[in-house]
Amino acid sequence: MKAPITLLAVVLAAIGTTTAVNAALPDPGMEIDRARTALVITDPQNDFLSPKGVTWGVVGKNVTENNTVENIETLLKTAKAQGIQVFISPHYYYPTDHGWHFEGALERLMHDIGMFDRKGALTTEGFEGSGADWLERYKPYINDGVTVITSPHKVYGPETNDLVLQLRKRGIDKVILGGMSANLCTESHMRELLEQGFEVAVVSDATAAAQVEEGDGYEAAMINFRFIANTVWTTKEAVQKINDAK
Amino acid sequence: MKAPITLLAVVLAAIGTTTAVNAALPDPGMEIDRARTALVITDPQNDFLSPKGVTWGVVGKNVTENNTVENIETLLKTAKAQGIQVFISPHYYYPTDHGWHFEGALERLMHDIGMFDRKGALTTEGFEGSGADWLERYKPYINDGVTVITSPHKVYGPETNDLVLQLRKRGIDKVILGGMSANLCTESHMRELLEQGFEVAVVSDATAAAQVEEGDGYEAAMINFRFIANTVWTTKEAVQKINDAK
Amino acid sequence: MKAPITLLAVVLAAIGTTTAVNAALPDPGMEIDRARTALVITDPQNDFLSPKGVTWGVVGKNVTENNTVENIETLLKTAKAQGIQVFISPHYYYPTDHGWHFEGALERLMHDIGMFDRKGALTTEGFEGSGADWLERYKPYINDGVTVITSPHKVYGPETNDLVLQLRKRGIDKVILGGMSANLCTESHMRELLEQGFEVAVVSDATAAAQVEEGDGYEAAMINFRFIANTVWTTKEAVQKINDAK
Amino acid sequence: MKAPITLLAVVLAAIGTTTAVNAALPDPGMEIDRARTALVITDPQNDFLSPKGVTWGVVGKNVTENNTVENIETLLKTAKAQGIQVFISPHYYYPTDHGWHFEGALERLMHDIGMFDRKGALTTEGFEGSGADWLERYKPYINDGVTVITSPHKVYGPETNDLVLQLRKRGIDKVILGGMSANLCTESHMRELLEQGFEVAVVSDATAAAQVEEGDGYEAAMINFRFIANTVWTTKEAVQKINDAK
């Protein structure tokens, strides 16, 4: 109990808000080393990002305000141009998943509205253009034969898929993270990647979340990203750092 | 894309706020079966819960408002009285942990202020009464020889300790979750327990969080608990459900 | 150091081999409760089990001697008849997996011989009848819409797929385990399931392994199953226990 | 199914045994980069390595033949001299662990004979010189304040402790692995480290195992190390490679 934050707070109060913000919570930052850094995008799928997707009614406003669709594309384009490896962690449900005995609140909702549904693990019937498919404009980047498409995560984090292994098998230990949705899969990916010893920079406007009467998922995520990640960047900052990296 | 939330929202708007809240996000609930349910408390330690702890300056107000200290004790007392097994997941740092090459924001802060520091994994020198020790009033419940004290988690979640195994080795698949701090270790425990296939009921006033200029950790946690957990209870509700369970 | 095994060994030597075997290593056994028990089969795929598969030259003799192909089918048929849930954990490699920077010995070999290769995670082109496909005779059991087909594991164990979650989401905590190959994926599944707090009964003749100049994989697995699992059954014993269970 | 091993085997048979061995199972090898490589030792504790330990009756002969005690010390000494970081993953059981509802065969045996027992997670009473304590001769290397002592693993692998995080937090991605016992904790560490994307070189004579009527644990481990690890070295080879590394 040697250096109470209370003291810190007093000092900070004395020197003004902006400094206080920086001083109170450190911002460790993250240096990009191109060979060891990946862009990871969670759930870049129609059900979150298309006006026809099943969740547009609750995420559409936030997606639009953040310019999320364009920002994710900008990250994909920049990473490809600069030789940063890209990993996509999708979310799919198969018919057997509807036999689960219990679910958390959003899991229940996603199952009820048929979100991310596919007809099976070993068939692509009906997949093209469905809510589970990639947003059309991302396909050139994701389906180029180089981008690593992991197995689907089945709750929110990468604990149930091969993302961590795929990153490690390529010597990656730093992740630039974006995608949908901010306080669910994106945040669970950030948390698990940190538990596994990665550095994570979250891109705050390359994501968005449901804003409902029970709460603003985007606001919650922004607080937790700032508290937990190694650093938080805007898309503009991320692009510049990728371009400047060696 | 068969049952868009937009439709749901329209319906909800038509029938009024309270109903809307319940309808928009389902509340799956959790039935307590005493033999299969545990109380899990994260970080019931001085550095979070004592006015002398290193974080009291940023969490003290929220701890006081929520009546967190008393509520955690009420949960411990009720669980013991009703034969619900209790598991404690503590947070300790050893001198070698200060040799880590990188840290997220709050990890950096915790290290800087000497939070949860112990002199080593195999010594208890200086531990008694330190910031890493249990809050004094909890010791009769935690040190009774029955409560399971897991190894320390080293980031925020139980990925780095034996909590999941200890629960499973006793046939537990439902968890009542409280402790500190709401949006860090408590939330990471909730998320990981769900990934591991547990049902989790979070107790909203048996926790608290840092409230700083960068954001209100308690507010973020409350949003995410509501979105993600199987259900959210107050201490009063949790006590009644434990007492009513068979 | 209170009850040295040396004493045990002396006693055992005095009472004869058969007793000694049982006495030296306990056999904890596993009671089948139908609602909480699953049959898990690893890699029931052509590349291991078909004479046309890429590994038949090193596993074929053992597969034939053990009657592995028929025994796995007997387990599948019995489980389906008795309402025991079935989970299949397959092994697939995608073109991007050939970009890994390093591999263990057998991983290297599997990649070199094109084992379990598919054309991509999101295409089934060329899959039907390939080395990665199910053995033809198992298809009625696996493709019945009820059997849970997990995402592929990518090294040997279920750490990189959703098997553990899929089991837990259905209240399963006991596993009857068979499949290919004994000392690689089957053993890694046994070990990880135990770490995750499952009870595991391995079926010794519903598996087989590579037998090469460097060593007999089947012999290694049999030793480790006996040391580590909750119990080891033959197919005949497993069938009787499933039929007798409630 | 393009390059069947059968063909390989025919070719190999034609060119003689030694070549065949190398050809049949590749040996990917592991380059040591001092900053990214660690020495990891499992269970260097009295209950395995001291003639007074509870398992000496079944492991003593193999420990003596392999020169295991001296070889582990040689590895520790060499690593310290050359600036290779050392991590120890111990095995402890606490009184509450004896309340587990089920165990595998060796877990049951270890509990029955009081192996690795300590009086609690937060007391060192009775620890000094007990079966759970380090072998006396290793203490200068392990207790130097630099070696990282992880939390105990609770089954066989590092899934239940912080080893993976501790390695990653220091930029380690290659592991030289030794310790006790070969086919239990050492092998489970090898398997899990590979699943987590580490390269692993196992040191074949810096380990040993139980040899009982049910099977020879050392033989099983040697087969699996050869099949699975990136490479297998003797202590002599490991020392030379560490000394030659940059």
Q: pLDDT tens digits for B131-143? A: 999 999 999 999 9
Residues paired with B41 in a beta bridge: B88, B178
In the prediction, which pLDDT does C24 show? 77
pLDDT along chain C (246 residues), means of 10: 45 34 77 97 98 97 98 98 98 98 95 96 96 98 98 98 98 98 98 98 98 97 98 98 96
Selecting from D100, D149, D159 the residue whose C-beta is nearest the C-beta of B121 gives D149
Residues paired with C21 in a beta bridge: none
In the prediction, which pLDDT does D18 show? 32
Tell me the residue type at B69.
V
Tokens encoding C100 = 């890994």
Determine whether the interchain pair D165/A198 forms a contact, defined as Cβ–Cβ distance below 8 Å: no
Determine whether the interchain pair C130/D222 forms a contact, defined as Cβ–Cβ distance below 8 Å: no
> Which residue on chain A is closest to B8 by alpha carbon?
A57
Q: Which helix (H) or strand (E) holds C69?
A: helix C68-82
In the prediction, which pLDDT does C5 show? 53
Contacts of C179 (CB under 8 A, 6+ apart): C40, C41, C42, C43, C44, C72, C89, C185, C186, C189, C206, C207
In the prediction, which pLDDT does D5 show? 53
Contact A24, B106 (CB under 8 A): no
Instruction: Provide the 10 A C-beta neighbour count for residue C190.
Output: 27
Instruction: Tell me how many degrees the CA angle D149-D153-D159 measures, rounded to the nearest 5.
Output: 110
Longest Cα pair distance anywhere in chain A, in angstroms?
63
* Residue A134: strand, helix, or coil: strand
Does the N-terminal peptide bond of residue C181 adopt cis geometry, omega within 30 degrees of 0? yes
- Buried b / exposed e across B26-59, counting CB within 10 Å, b at 16+? bebebebeeebbbbbbbbbbbbbbbeebbbbbbb
Q: Whats the size of chain C, residue-wise? A: 246
Determine whether the interchain pair A121/C161 forms a contact, defined as Cβ–Cβ distance below 8 Å: no
The Cα C143–Cα C140 span in angstroms is 6
In the prediction, which pLDDT does C2 show? 46
In the prediction, which pLDDT does D22 show? 38
In the prediction, which pLDDT does A24 show? 76
Selecting from C96, C127, C170 the residue whose C-beta is nearest the C-beta of A101 gives C170
C161 touching A (Cβ < 8 Å): yes
A27 touching B (Cβ < 8 Å): yes
In the prediction, which pLDDT does B5 show? 52
Do the strands A174-179 and A148-149 form a parallel or antiparallel pair, or are they unpaired?
unpaired
Residues of D in contact with A197 (CB under 8 A): 164-165, 167-169
Determine whether the interchain pair B168/C197 forms a contact, defined as Cβ–Cβ distance below 8 Å: yes
The Cα C157–Cα C161 span in angstroms is 8
In the prediction, which pLDDT does D6 show? 47
Selecting from A195, A216, A227 the residue whose C-beta is nearest the C-beta of B160 gives A195
How far is residue C192 from each of residues B9, B210, C188, measured CA to CA in Å?
44, 37, 6
Would you say residue B128 has pLDDT above 50?
yes
The Cα A36–Cα A26 span in angstroms is 24
Residue B82, φ and ψ in degrees, nearest 5: -105, 5
In the prediction, which pLDDT does B17 show? 34
A173 touching D (Cβ < 8 Å): yes
The Cα D37–Cα D33 span in angstroms is 6
Mean pLDDT of A210-231: 97
For residue D11, give how far its alpha carbon lies from the nearest alpha carbon of chain B (Å). 47
In the prediction, which pLDDT does A5 show? 52
Q: Which pLDDT tens digit goes with each residue over D62-71?
A: 999 999 999 9
In the prediction, which pLDDT does B234 show? 98
Mean pLDDT of B77-106: 97
> Which residue on chain C is closest to D157 by alpha carbon?
C195
Chains sharing 3 or more CB pairs under 8 A with chain C: A, B, D
Kindly write down the DSSP assignment for every residue of C73-128, as one continuous string.
HHHHHHHHHHT-EEEEE-B-B-GGGGG-S---HHHHHHHHTTTTB-S-TT--TTTT
In the prediction, which pLDDT does D235 show? 98
Would you say residue A181 has pLDDT above 50?
yes
* Residue A103: strand, helix, or coil: coil
In the prediction, which pLDDT does A10 show? 37
Q: What pLDDT band is residue A246 in, cutting at 50, 70 and 90?
A: confident
Tell me the residue type at B136.
E
Tell me the residue type at A213.
E
How far is residue C131 from each of residues B73, C87, C88, C124, D3, measured CA to CA in Å?
59, 20, 16, 13, 11
In the prediction, which pLDDT does B88 show? 98
Mean pLDDT of A18-29: 64
* Residue D158: strand, helix, or coil: helix
Task: Report, as ranges of residue numbers, the positions in chain D whose pLDDT lies below 50.
Answer: 1-3, 6-23
Residues paired with C134 in a beta bridge: C45
Selecting from D1, D25, D106 the residue whose C-beta is nearest the C-beta of C54 gives D1
